[in-house]
Chain A
Amino acid sequence: MKRVVITGAGTINSLGHSVPDTLEAMREGRCGISELEFRDVERLAIKIGGQVRGFEAEGRFNRQQMSLYDRFTQFTLTAAKEAIQQSGIEFHGELAARSGVVLGTAGGGVSTWDDNYRSVYEDGKNRVHPFVVPKLMNNAAASHVSMEHNLKGPSFTVSTACASSNHAMALAFQMVRSGAAPAMLTGGSESMLCFGGVKAWEGLRVMSKDACRPFSANRNGMVQGEGAGVFVFEEYEHAKNRGSDILCEVVGFAMSSDAADIVMPSKQGASRAMAGALADARLNASDVGYINAHGTGTAANDKTECAAVADVFGKHADDLMISSTKSMHGHLIGGTGAVELLACIMALRDGIIAPTISYEEPDPECALDVVPNEAREAKIDVALSNAFAFGGLNAVLALKRV
């Protein structure tokens, strides 16, 4: 089995348009959640979100590209470019032929669906632009990354709701670890902050109208975000021979299915995924210093997740830190695990633990060290990143300092 390391990272989200800007915001505990701005927002009951500001497609992409790139693809290409630049990897010859792209998204081109449904249903038009299908398809982002950077190996898109990115990164990890691919671009993106995208979530009655307060006793729901996170996963020897800067090592993962309920989380399913990731990485529970929680800020997730952590880690659960950065960037749905992986990299590489902001009242059902409101300095060796999706599909990654 090969060792797998991360040699490049890129992102765009409501906290920043790059990795350095995002990590700075996480260190400072800044909140990227604010009043939403888009057409028909006044007809929504939920009017806040972690929306990406100041991102214009004009100037970044040419006219032909803009007619083909939904916002989720634009985010992905922006993040992929940053990751590849940092990594310094160039895809040609045998490396290009064997390397690919695995990305997660829950909704794909949601705003393209929304705009065109509005056009034919509300405006009564009878014809849509010819690129609606290639623009909205869930694999559009992965395909455009492969075209832009000459990746000719295995590429596809994973869609497992809120765990999409973690499932995608787990598969990319597996491919590099098994030797099937020397390097993979992986992560995910989401762009659901449009009228139809938020209206659909409103229906579930799980959204907060004012803030995302994970683990806080007065939490009242989740807040949507948008953006992308993309990473270069590379075989260790290949990275070392190039002399590249290694951000951290990916050492294990596990996936599990609750097989129970389409929306309610299960302690057993979450526990099995965390314990499985430790077993896969051949780590002891006591090795883990930080967990980036799924931490959605809903009543059900946070208490279930804390109970699962207590089960898996026993007494060590009181010694480790667990935080939810969704309190800052919102829930990026299919892209969330990718942006949250940045907090794990910061913890391992810089020794800074991102906080859970907007934390106001302790909840006895979430009695762990949730790093409330302020980032903390701590040297840790191993971090886990949790994602527990609707549909009961769980994916946990284990990362290690190099």
Chain B
Amino acid sequence: MLEVKNLMVFFENALALNDLSLDVYRGEIVSALGSNSAGKTTLMNTISGLIIDMKVKEERKGGERITIMGEVRFEGEEILSAKPSLRIRKGIALSRERHPIFPDSDIEENLRISTYLRRDREINKTYDFVYDIFPPLKALKKRRAGFCSGGEQQMLSIGMALMTKPKLLLLDEPLLGLSPAMQNSLIQAIKQIHREGITVLVAEQFARPLLPIVDRGYIIENGMLTLQGTGQELRENPEVRSSFMGV
């Protein structure tokens, strides 16, 4: 479904992603594991197209020059230079790191904003779908998003991505800053999203709750792929255990 081939991203002279290749097949949960500064967020931004916008802005400012090389294919189509909006239309949605939401709008309005690009009549069904996956959101529908807890905001952020009715959901560090209980319920939610037929690619640092549910995983270090395998294989790898599971 998604093929990333020999992807290289430079921020000025710093190499953020080095010759990275990975595949995500339809109906999988794939994780990209890496420590801080490994390049996870850059990878997510490159797949979702946000980096194109960053690149243009930096160019205008005369700031860091961002160079992107390689191939990103979605359903066989080359999308490396496509704008984020086009990628959303094709079915790639990203829930960004640190759950950015619109703090002054209530939860329902936040979800509604994400349906902006949709023209079909099934939007109401998607609301039910999101509320079904994240029941707490339904109870808080009219609450201003800025007043919600970190966990609720994270749910909302994923919910917003789901409102675009994606085929491939990208999650950038969904577990960041959440309590273990909240992490567990999010993992259950990811499982449920996956059961509904959405392919998921998760970037994360903390692998312990995540690895049991993933089909395959990639380990990224300093922008390079160092290891790949099934969830089971990674869980048994001693280095992965010490680096990403805290064992």
| A interacts with B | no
Chain A residues engaging chain B, CB cutoff 8 angstroms: none
